Amino acid sequence: MSKVIKSRRTEKGIIIHEHDDGSSKQYLAVRGGLSWPIIAKGLRGYFCIYGEELIPAAQRKQNQRGRLIFVDEYEEPKILALNELYAKAFSFAIRYWCDTFYAVTQEFQGEDYSGYTKDFRKFIYEKQQEFMYEEQTVLLEEALYADSPKDGLQYINEWEAKALLDLPEGSLVRNQLKMMTEGEKIDQQPQTLNAVNALRFVVWGFNEYKPNPDMGDWRKKLKRGTWRST
């Protein structure tokens, strides 16, 4: 699998990844799904990053969606290493022009994630100020319908059935999906399979918030303010 060596964003908001084999890919948007660590259950923090592939206007049919291409993933080996997880998420976001992570930001299934949310947003804001990434923002948004794992998995299956979801061999997210069986309690899945959890967040994000290829100059739409508003 080739590696991304350079990323950039055009005035129209198209993300271009240049690879070390000379190839390149164009995306309407690059986004991530983030699963927080659950210390009591020994569940590690994890995120995956996907991009919706750009279909040239001359080839694009009405309402046609591009494939969700796997860009990268990361699982933090140390459960308590939160700053390391935040740092990896930030560095991957800058590397790939990933502008949004979807995660649980409040309470879910007895776990309160508001502390993680506050710390992550503060970390990202301070890093952006430190390195003056004025044209790149990294946002943390509430995962849609986080309390409906079954529905989230249905969206994964629908995109996969249409050959629109990239699940490369050897990736953790692919391996965890293969582990799931008909007999598994889907309502408990977020507490056991962190990669599947993150995947359903990002797939649902793309499904609900369709990237617009004709959005105009993206720089005029950047959110400004302190870390509390990011």
For 123-142, write each residue's pLDDT tens digit: 999 988 877 666 788 999 99
148 located within any domain = yes
8 located within any domain = yes
Give the dihedral sign, CA 147/148/150/153.
negative
CATH number for the domain that contains residue 60: 3.30.420
Whether this model's pTM surpasses 0.85: yes
User: Cα(74)–Cα(91) distance, rounded to whole angstroms?
Assistant: 11
Q: Is the pLDDT of residue 208 over 60?
A: yes
User: Cα(104)–Cα(111) distance, rounded to whole angstroms?
Assistant: 10
Q: Is the pLDDT of residue 180 over 50?
A: yes
- pLDDT tens profile 156-179: 999 999 999 999 999 999 999 888
Average pLDDT across the chain, whole number: 86
194 located within any domain = yes
Give me the mean pLDDT over the 145-152 stretch: 82
Token pair recorded at residue 206: 């793309």
- Cα of 51 vs its chain's centroid, Å: 9
Residue 170 burial (C-beta neighbours within 10 Å; 0-12, 13-18, 19+): exposed
Is pLDDT larger for residue 94 or for residue 1?
A: 94
Q: Which of 32-41, 88-97, 123-132, 184-193 has the highest mean pLDDT?
A: 88-97
* pLDDT recorded at residue 223: 54
Q: Is the pLDDT of residue 219 over 50?
A: no
Number of H helices, E strands in the chain: 5, 9
136 located within any domain = yes
* pLDDT recorded at residue 181: 57
Structural domain span for residue 202: 4-217
* pLDDT recorded at residue 19: 96
124 located within any domain = yes
User: Cα(140)–Cα(33) distance, rounded to whole angstroms?
Assistant: 10
- In the chain, the number of structural domains is 1
- pLDDT tens profile 99-128: 999 999 988 777 889 999 999 999 999 988
228 located within any domain = no
